Amino acid sequence: MSCQARAEDPNDALKGSYGADAVRYSLLSAAVTTTLGALLFVCAARSIRTDIGRAAA
């Protein structure tokens, strides 16, 4: 018996609601999520030295 988990394809999940545009929306959601992650990383990088200084004190 195999213990492999079946990965859900985001296009299949959106296909019922959005039809042919499912690929477009899944790619858009990946781009938005990546951009949001990058912005949050930049915000965290701006304060890391201050945070480390406070933790050491």
The answer to whether position 24 is within a domain reads: yes
The answer to whether position 45 is within a domain reads: yes
The answer to whether position 3 is within a domain reads: no
Residue given tokens 């990965």 in the structure block: 7
How do residues 38-48 score in pLDDT, each as one tens digit?
999 999 999 99
The answer to whether position 42 is within a domain reads: yes
| Integer Cα distance of 15 and 22 in angstroms | 5
The answer to whether position 4 is within a domain reads: no
Higher pLDDT, 48 or 16: 48
| Integer Cα distance of 35 and 57 in angstroms | 34
Determine the structural domain holding residue 19 and report its residue range.
10-56
Average pLDDT of the chain, as a whole number:
84
- Under a CB-based contact definition with an 8 Å cutoff, are residues 26 and 45 in contact? no
User: How many structural domains does the chain have?
Assistant: 1
pTM of the model: 0.62
The answer to whether position 36 is within a domain reads: yes
